[in-house]
C-alpha cells in the first residue's frame, strides 16, 4: 500500500497531477492515495518535493535522491557509447564476478514494464553453461533435422538448420573448441517474461550496463529458438508458468578490441 505522511505533505498536488490512473486526490489540502486503481509505479514517491510518500510493498532503500552529478549523462557521449557497442563472440578465459552480473540484472530490474507489472525473470548460468549448451544444441539439431525434411520450409531457414546440425557435431567432438553457441563465455543470463516487449526492454538496458563495465554481450537468438517448447531447458532454467524465454545474453570479457564504430543504413523515418 502507498501512503502519504500528512505531516510532511504540503498539498502541492504534484502527485495528483502526475498519477496516470487518477488514484490520488487532495482531501483537506493533503494528498490521499486511494490504492484502488494504483499500479504501484512509484511516480508519487519520485515527484513529491517533501519526500512524503512511501510504501510497504517495495524496499524503500531502493529510492535515491536526485543529484545532477550522479544522474545526468551527456547526450553525445551516450549516443557514441551506444554506437560503439558490438556483438561479441570472442571471450577471454576469465570469470565474471557475481557482483557485476548482479549489476547487469539491476539495470533490467529498473526497466519499464507494461502496467508496471514487473513480470520479468532472470536466470544466471555460470557453473552450468556447458550443460545448458549441450541441451540447447541437441534441441537445435532436432529442430534442424525436422526443417530439412520439410519441403515447404524456406531456403534461409534450411541454411540455419544445416548450421545447427553442424554446430551440434562440432560440440560433440570438442565441447570447448566446438562451442559456437556460447563461445566459451563464462556466464549466460536468460531473460524470461510474460511479454516480449518487457523482456526486450530489460535486455537492452542490461547489455548497455554490461558494456559500461567492460564486458561484451552476444544476444543468442539460436538459444531462444532452442528453448521453444523444450521442457528440459525450461525446467533447467526455472522459467515460470506463463513466461517464456525472450532473450539470452552471453556475457564475458571481450577477447577482441574495436577501434571505431561501424556504418549503418540510414534510418527509415517518416516525418508527419
pLDDT band of 152, cuts 50, 70, 90: confident
Residues 32 and 133 in one domain: no
- Biggest alpha carbon distance in the chain? 75
Residues 56 and 83 in one domain: no
248 beta partners: 190
What's the CA gap between 85 and 82, in Å, rounded? 6
Q: Contact, 225 vs 140, CB < 8 A? A: yes
Cβ neighbours, 10 Å, residue 86:
15
pLDDT band of 79, cuts 50, 70, 90: very high
Residues 18 and 84 in one domain: no
Domain contains 69 = no
- For residue 16, the number of C-alpha atoms closer than 13 Å in the C-beta half-sphere is 12
Range of the domain at 216: 74-272
Show the CA angle centred on residue 43, arms to residues 39 and 45, nearest 5°: 110
Helix 75-84 / helix 196-212 crossing angle, nearest 10 deg: 100
Residues 80 and 185 in one domain: yes
- pLDDT tens string 222-271: 999 999 999 999 999 999 999 999 999 999 999 999 999 999 999 999 99
Residues 57 and 78 in one domain: no
Amino acid at each position: 500500500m502507498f501512503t502519504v505522511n500528512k505531516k510532511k505533505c504540503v498539498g502541492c498536488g504534484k502527485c495528483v497531477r502526475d498519477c496516470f490512473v487518477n488514484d490520488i486526490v487532495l482531501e483537506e489540502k493533503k494528498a490521499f492515495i486511494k490504492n484502488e486503481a494504483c499500479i504501484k509505479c512509484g511516480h508519487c514517491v519520485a515527484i513529491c518535493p517533501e519526500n512524503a510518500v512511501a510504501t510497504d510493498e517495495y524496499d524503500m532503500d531502493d529510492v535515491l535522491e536526485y543529484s545532477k552529478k550522479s544522474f545526468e549523462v551527456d547526450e553525445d557521449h551516450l549516443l557514441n557509447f551506444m554506437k560503439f557497442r558490438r556483438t561479441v563472440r570472442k571471450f577471454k578465459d576469465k570469470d565474471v564476478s557475481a557482483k557485476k552480473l548482479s549489476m547487469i540484472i539491476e539495470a533490467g530490474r529498473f526497466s519499464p514494464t507494461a502496467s508496471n507489472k514487473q513480470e520479468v525473470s532472470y536466470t544466471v548460468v555460470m557453473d552450468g553453461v556447458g550443460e545448458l549448451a549441450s541441451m540447447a544444441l541437441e534441441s537445435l539439431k532436432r529442430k534442424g533435422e525436422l526443417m530439412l525434411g520439410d519441403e515447404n520450409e524456406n531456403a534461409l531457414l534450411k541454411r540455419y538448420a544445416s548450421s545447427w546440425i553442424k554446430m551440434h557435431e562440432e560440440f560433440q567432438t570438442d565441447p570447448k573448441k566446438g562451442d559456437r553457441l556460447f563461445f566459451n563465455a563464462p556466464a549466460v543470463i536468460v531473460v524470461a517474461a510474460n511479454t516480449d516487449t518487457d523482456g526486450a526492454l530489460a535486455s537492452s538496458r542490461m547489455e548497455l550496463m554490461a558494456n559500461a563495465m567492460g564486458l561484451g554481450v552476444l544476444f543468442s537468438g539460436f538459444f531462444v529458438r532452442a528453448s521453444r517448447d523444450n521442457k528440459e531447458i525450461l525446467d533447467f532454467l526455472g522459467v515460470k508458468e506463463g513466461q517464456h524465454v525472450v532473450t539470452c545474453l552471453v556475457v564475458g570479457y571481450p577477447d577482441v578490441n574495436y577501434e571505431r564504430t561501424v556504418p549503418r543504413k540510414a534510418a527509415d523515418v517518416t516525418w508527419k
